[in-house]
Amino acid sequence: MNPRNRRQSVVTIHDGRTHVVALCRGFRDGLPVFGWGEAPATLLTRTQLRAAGLRPNGQDPVALLVFRHHRPYARETVAELFSTERAAPRRVPSPAQRRALAFALRARRVCVECAREKDYCVPTSTRQCWDCFEAEAADATDALEVA
């Protein structure tokens, strides 16, 4: 018998209409803990739910996914797992919301000095493009040298 299997516990997860019986590595904060590739197919992370066109729908996590990366300096990563049975479809933004978002993103690219739209987001600390910021810095340096 593999020594890894001796540490595992049988857990029953009630996710909506179904009951899933699975082997878990233990419990943390009252939630079953699964390793990489060990979680049942009906439990997904937020990222996986989003890729599937779903959202958690206000549900609490049902289990945890805990794993380490291959590099020795990488720490333990913990991701919450949610039930696909209780998940809801992602909301689709309305046309007005899409326009508002496009307007807000465009405003982040417009310089307050030259009023030109750049192909990058201007820094929020100065709201200036790099050309205007460098010109202002050069003027300030020249003013210091004259004084």
What is the rounded average pLDDT of the residues 12-40?
78
As for how many domains the chain has, the answer is 2
What domain range is 104 assigned to?
A: 95-146
User: Is the CB of residue 60 less than 8 Å from the CB of residue 20?
Assistant: no
Domain boundary among 63, 89, 115: 89
Q: For 130, what's the count of Cα atoms within 13 Å in the CB-facing half-sphere?
A: 4
Domain boundary among 74, 89, 104: 89
User: Is the CB of residue 31 less than 8 Å from the CB of residue 61?
Assistant: yes
Domain boundary among 89, 109, 132: 89
Instruction: Say yes or no: 56 and 99 in one domain.
Output: no
Instruction: Say yes or no: 100 and 129 in one domain.
Output: yes
The first and second tokens of residue 65, run together, are 């996914």
Q: Within a 10 A sphere around the Cβ of 51, how many other Cβ atoms?
A: 10
Cα–Cα–Cα angle for 94, 42, 7, rounded to 5 degrees: 140
Instruction: Say yes or no: 81 and 25 in one domain.
Output: yes
Instruction: Say yes or no: 70 and 133 in one domain.
Output: no
Higher pLDDT pick, 108 / 137: 108
Residue 131 neighbours by CB under 8 Å, 6+ apart: 114
Instruction: Say yes or no: 116 and 130 in one domain.
Output: yes
> In which band, very low, low, confident or very high, does the pLDDT at 26 lie, cut at 50, 70 and 90?
confident
Please say if the pLDDT value at position 71 is more than 50.
yes
